[in-house]
Structure 1
Amino acid sequence: MSACSIALTPANPSRRGRSKVKTGCRTCKARKVKCDERFPACHRCVSTGRVCDGYGIWGGGGNSYGERYAKAQSNSPPDSSTLTVPIVPRVSSRPGLSNASERAYFDWFHGQSAGKWPGIFGSGFWDTLVLQASVSEPAILHAVLALSCAHRSSSIAGSTRRSLTSASPDKHEQFCLRQYSSAISGLKPHFMSNSKASIRVALIACIVFTCLEFVRGHYQTGKNHFYNGLRLLGQLRVLSGNAHLTECPSMSKSEQSVDNWLAEQFARLHLQARLFGQKPISSPTATPERFPVQPVSFNSPSHARKCLDQLISKTSALAERHRASRPHTLPSADTLQQQARIQHALAAWLSAYEASATPAVKRDIVSAMGYKILHSYYLVAHVTASTCLRLDGEMAFDCFTDDFRTIMRNSFQLGEIVFNDGPGTKWEHNPAVPPIVADMGWITPLYFVALKCRVREVRMEAVRFLEHGDCKEGIWDAALAASVAREVMAVEEEGLGRADSVGCGKAEMDEEEAKMPPERNRIHDVEIVLPEGPEGELGIVCKRRVGEGQVETIERYRDAISRKWSGRKV
């Protein structure tokens, strides 16, 4: 049972004692005086010259680093990632680091990993909340140490590609497991409470545990943590009386920031899983049906990404609903209207993107990389929205070869940006920091091209790009995605006389090989069965049309040792 699956139950009410100060900053609690709970630092502490120790993971505090908080607020752009919780104190002042190994791993996460780990778009959850929570919550501190160890050791010892003959964990894995266990033990007091604060701590831990397992290659365990976190998120909604975890008059600004960051991170992980061929589950943020009005321009890549994420989610939901009903019949008028609204919103997003991207990319590498990635994701959503209701099946994708080529061009240009402008920035290649991030990047669009583009030249470019990437983005693993894409190609080209030429370049293909496979060969609805650990079995479950309104299900599995695929038709 994962830590986050333990039911939250009310604390034992029978034990009675002296009255305690239950709210306020930590300094006032320790002094057992009433706190005015001003943010970021209470007036009672500041007016008497004391240092306000803040409000736990909800931030706050002054005089020691209050000035940095004010500076961060004044310099931050009006963006969704603007911090309302102060910057965390210096690492040297952190409590709870009991030995040199813990200090070394925390220093590495704080100094080396944390800059790249959130991804190109940043994240209030990773940039602020996790580090802030590790100050006051031992469970989160141990979870961060476990994640830092797994992340760092993936480059030191190649733990994510560890030899299958390794019978016992090495010293890095042992440290990781000890911290993991300590984190779970540290959560037990929170599982005895039904308070919003305890649920928030558990949710932070769930996300860290999920990413930890993805880094280790234990995808099924990571998914279990994530699904349990979604259930806890539902409990938080009920307790907060806030169905969408948005602004609520009864909540403080710091609480709203924390809840928004939690909801955003779960929504991002949820979207990653859907795009990576995982079975859809209920939305973690209960997004309303209404379409948000697209702005004329975006003030940052993060702003553009937030708007696009909502449209990608709606596009995926439309495609999934249609597949689950009667995919080979004419869609209803309501379904067609929903498609038209999505396409209209995507067109509005593209207009705002074009007004924002060109001037922004000249300013800094983050804008250049962010907008380039977003354009590829827009094309994925555009192609999906345009094809998901068509009756000609996979043949519908043949009309979008130019879009597939644009995704490939964006990917190559992204590499050029990193190569030319990365040196001297945190995006410069550093062998000490593994190419692993928690957020989306270039893998998803390339995988989409590898599955849906049947122009072999373009398709093979996407597969090779994935194979040479050797990186991870959340649940996405470039090596696994490349292996699945190659097998999909092999299944579609079976019987066409070119199954043995999957690895050939363009120059080696004759005119017959360059032809695209017919509809009867093409597969769709590719669901990936992710392995549980480096020694686990990778699988795919997909479908193929065999007649008018008839489909066959195909299952394929890759042996963990031989790396060879085999399977059967169901």
Structure 2
Amino acid sequence: MQGSSESQPQGNGRRKVKTGCKTCKARRVKCDESRPACRRCVSTGRVCNGYGIWGGGDNKSPVQCSQALSIHRTPVPETQRGLTSDELMSFDWFREKTTKKLAGLFTSDFWETLVFQASVQEPAVRHAVVALSAAHRSDFSHGPSAIAARGPNAEQFMLQNYNKAISYLRSASTSENAPDIRVILITCMIFVTLEYLRGHYTSGSSHLQYGIQLLSELSPHRSDSKTLPQMSRNHTTQATDFAHNALIDSYAQLTIQSAMFGIFPSHMCVTTHDQRICAQPYNFKSIIEARQPLDDLLHKVKCLKEDFHAAIETGSTIDHTAALATQAFIQQDLFAWRQAYDRLVASLQPIINLRDLAGSIIIRVYYEMASVMAGVSLSETEMAFDAYTDNFTAIIAGFHELSRAWSLSNVQTPDPKPDMESGNFHDRGFTIESGYIPPAYYTAMKCRIPQLRRQAIHALRLMPRREGIWNGILLADVLDEVVGIEEGRPRPGDPNPASRDPASGGTENQVFMTSVNESSRISDVKVLLSDTTDETQRDTYIGYKKMMLHGNWATCKQKIERRAAVT
């Protein structure tokens, strides 16, 4: 948000304040716009009445939060107060289906516990949940206009509850008892998820960025460095600070997901551990515990890469020694993480639960991707990726392992609802958590071995789904375009022998060609998404850099031709 601005003097000689908290604007004084409560109000003992929809805080420290939301794993309530019969039906759908889908392959304290705790006490959370559930129920039909397909009142019902949630936050922010900052953060996360589910990526990212700024007020550890995430878990009081840690975990997942897609600044990402504390030695007791430090390492890699390349583009002085040292520390941490992960998997053998098995495979795939990203973070050429064919091969092997695990479970496990309760990564639908899409996309984009990149694209088409902002089918079409640009022949989506399933064996020499030459490779590919509600009406473009004659780089933009029905 920009600093406070003032207009021309009024009749009483004082300027009219246009921005800032409601208290400062009413007093016509300049506001420093700190959140949730501005410092001017706090220092003078006044109540800060906040900022618009999101309210603000009182004159208490921002870490003074509801004790009820800090109790670790209180029982999930069975009923909700103040809901109509339709709203209660939608809430029940959320409890039975939506929350299990949104959590993905890993358990989620936010979606499986904290949301329900908050919804008992807070009408804003209750109605945000109902709105999200209504949108998810419509998305469940997998049609291009799913909400409209369920009747003329379906979208209206969703929007009514969305607006109710906003109204409750507004009304609370104007009262003497401003809403708990954690309630605002919970509602904000639900709004982010709802907007991503609807395909409103700009709105969702705006909510997310605001949530990150607000969350920083709660964090016990903050970093002013552009190359380190801003906040961390509260490990010193974990048993009594369940809500804070659940919020940190959920926001950490979503920010790295968005940063990897290229629409969110890496330095705003959340880390689950204090970056000032050495992470080694790692010792994991569960799959989810192993995932958290790996996400932190991905944050570090993204920050290092973007900071280094931003310095190159702006002509700033680069401390190569410091950059290389940071890269080496990250790679050492990755090596230590893998050793601890191998010990964990060995201690858990055999892993019978499909959700745990799929989760263990996915985080191993993410480790391979993180290893490549760390290794090339300081490189200025696309040729650097050729040294990591073994890592890309391991990523593809992980997808085959996932497929075999699921196929075996279909035969051996008579589970009537595997898509919801057993971690079915094959089902077509939406989840807010990241799964196989980012590493599959990264492999197809950066590995120039045609057979491997085609298997990655094939994996996206075999198991089409959306993970937050990542749309598997759309990205498969994007990758078809990239392959066509780089390899200079009909794209894999076109009817030609090279587009056959690589896993079934191909005979075309071009599928087994060794690599793509340097001059044909493109870099800095950005997917430019549209915010149109109906996916069938959206135009998607990619921006990228391509080497031209005489070694000059040109910035290009190209429309993506859709080759498959959007799921």
Q: Same fold (TM over 0.5)?
A: yes
Name the residue aligned to 1:539: 541
CA gap 1:460/1:284 in 2 versus in 1, 3 angstroms:
closer
1:97 is aligned, of 66, 83, 92, to 83
CA gap 1:252/1:419 in 2 versus in 1, 3 angstroms:
closer
CA gap 1:464/1:241 in 2 versus in 1, 3 angstroms:
closer
Counterpart check, 1:461 vs 2:430: no
Q: Which amino acid aligns with 2:119?
A: S
Aligned-pair CA distance for 1:291: 5.8
CA distance in 1, matches of 2:185, 2:329: 34
Does structure 2 conserve the Cα–Cα contact (< 8 Å) formed by 1:446 and 1:462?
yes
Aligned pair count reads 488
Secondary structure of the residue that 2:268 maps to in structure 1? coil
1:349 is aligned, of 337, 341, 348, to 337
Aligned-pair CA distance for 1:176: 1.1
Name the residue aligned to 1:373: 362
Q: Which amino acid aligns with 1:382?
A: S
2:244 is aligned, of 240, 251, 259, to 259
Does structure 1 conserve the Cα–Cα contact (< 8 Å) formed by 2:98 and 2:133?
yes
Name the residue aligned to 1:359: 347
Map 1:205-244 → 2, pairs under 5 A: 205-237=187-219, 244=231
Name the residue aligned to 2:163: 181
Does structure 2 conserve the Cα–Cα contact (< 8 Å) formed by 1:314 and 1:342?
yes
Name the residue aligned to 1:405: 393
Aligned-pair CA distance for 1:233: 2.2
Secondary structure of the residue that 2:530 maps to in structure 1? coil
Counterpart check, 1:476 vs 2:470: yes
Q: Which amino acid aligns with 2:524?
A: D
Name the residue aligned to 2:405: 417
Aligned-pair CA distance for 1:7: 6.9
CA RMSD of aligned residues (A): 3.8
Does structure 1 conserve the Cα–Cα contact (< 8 Å) formed by 2:434 and 2:468?
yes
Aligned-pair CA distance for 1:426: 8.5
CA distance in 1, matches of 2:350, 2:178: 44
CA distance in 1, matches of 2:92, 2:491: 55
Q: Which amino acid aligns with 1:542?
A: Y
Map 1:138-149 → 2, pairs under 5 A: 138-149=123-134
Counterpart check, 1:555 vs 2:557: yes
Aligned-pair CA distance for 1:270: 0.6
CA distance in 2, matches of 1:107, 1:209: 19
Q: Which amino acid aligns with 1:399?
A: A
Q: Which amino acid aligns with 1:111?
A: E
CA distance in 1, matches of 2:263, 2:499: 27
Greater displacement, 477-486 / 202-211: 477-486
CA gap 1:401/1:209 in 2 versus in 1, 3 angstroms:
same
1:542-563 deviations in Å (ceiling 9; x for gaps): 2234478842212122378999
Identity across matched positions, percent: 31
Counterpart check, 1:297 vs 2:283: yes
2:69 is aligned, of 58, 70, 79, to 58
CA distance in 2, matches of 1:497, 1:558: 12
Does structure 2 conserve the Cα–Cα contact (< 8 Å) formed by 1:59 and 1:86?
no
Q: Which amino acid aligns with 2:554?
A: E
Name the residue aligned to 1:22: none
Aligned-pair CA distance for 1:388: 2.2
Aligned-pair CA distance for 1:309: 0.8
Q: Which amino acid aligns with 2:231?
A: H
Aligned-pair CA distance for 1:269: 0.7
1:473-517 deviations in Å (ceiling 9; x for gaps): 222211122122111112212369999656345566643564322
Aligned-pair CA distance for 1:109: 1.1
CA gap 1:445/1:260 in 2 versus in 1, 3 angstroms:
same
1:90-133 deviations in Å (ceiling 9; x for gaps): 23xx212222x212111111122222321222222111111111
CA distance in 2, matches of 1:98, 1:123: 28
Secondary structure of the residue that 2:553 maps to in structure 1? strand
CA distance in 2, matches of 1:154, 1:145: 14
CA gap 1:494/1:357 in 2 versus in 1, 3 angstroms:
same
Unaligned stretches of 5+ in structure 2?
2-18, 28-64, 225-229
1:420-459 deviations in Å (ceiling 9; x for gaps): 236355971369x863222111111111111011111111
1:129 is aligned, of 86, 97, 114, to 114
Greater displacement, 137-146 / 260-269: 260-269
Q: Which amino acid aligns with 1:400?
A: Y
Does structure 2 conserve the Cα–Cα contact (< 8 Å) formed by 1:117 and 1:438?
yes
CA distance in 2, matches of 1:379, 1:194: 52
Secondary structure of the residue that 1:517 maps to in structure 2? coil
CA distance in 1, matches of 2:343, 2:171: 51
Name the residue aligned to 2:528: 529
Aligned-pair CA distance for 1:331: 7.0
TM-score (structure 2 length as normaliser): 0.76
Does structure 2 conserve the Cα–Cα contact (< 8 Å) formed by 1:139 and 1:186?
yes
Name the residue aligned to 2:12: none
CA distance in 2, matches of 1:462, 1:343: 25
Aligned-pair CA distance for 1:264: 2.1
CA gap 1:274/1:98 in 2 versus in 1, 3 angstroms:
same
Aligned-pair CA distance for 1:366: 3.0
Greater displacement, 229-238 / 451-460: 229-238
Aligned-pair CA distance for 1:272: 0.2
Name the residue aligned to 1:306: 292
CA distance in 2, matches of 1:376, 1:268: 16
1:503 is aligned, of 499, 507, 517, to 499
Secondary structure of the residue that 1:531 maps to in structure 2? coil
Unaligned stretches of 5+ in structure 1?
15-53, 61-83, 565-570
CA gap 1:178/1:248 in 2 versus in 1, 3 angstroms:
same
Greater displacement, 127-136 / 397-406: 397-406
2:327 is aligned, of 335, 339, 351, to 339
